[in-house]
Amino acid sequence: MAEQLEFFPVPSPCRGICQSDERGFCRGCMRSRDERFNWQNMSDPQKQEVLRLCRQRMLRKLRAAKTEPPDEPQQPSLF
């Protein structure tokens, strides 16, 4: 696959919510610890790959949250 030329630097996805979840990913940007610490040393294609992985992680997290059945029914049964 041909690389696309980048005219602007890839900005950090940091959202200022620097807390790790149970799997070790940042709750704000979904980067791993290594990805956060090495961001400044990565090339633009590496940063783009990290952003792609972060989007996948976020989508996976959102899908998992949607599939959990609610603890209580939304409306009590009349029967």
pLDDT one-digit tens code per residue, 18-73: 899 989 999 999 999 999 999 999 999 999 999 999 999 999 999 988 866 656 65
CA atoms within 13 A on the CB side of 65: 6
Q: Is residue 4 part of a domain?
A: no
Q: Is residue 59 part of a domain?
A: yes
**Could you give the maximum distance between any two Cα atoms of the chain, in Å?**
64
Q: Is residue 54 part of a domain?
A: yes
Q: CA 16 to CA 59: how far, in whole Å?
A: 20
Q: CA 51 to CA 29: how far, in whole Å?
A: 9
Q: Is residue 52 part of a domain?
A: yes
- Count of structural domains within the chain: 1
Q: Is residue 10 part of a domain?
A: no
Q: Is residue 5 part of a domain?
A: no
Q: How far is CA 4 from CA 19, 48, 58, 65, 78, in A?
A: 33, 11, 25, 35, 60
Global pTM reads 0.73
Tell me which residue has tokens 């040393």: 41
Q: Is residue 2 part of a domain?
A: no
Q: Is residue 71 part of a domain?
A: no
Full residue range of the structural domain in which residue 60 is found: 17-66
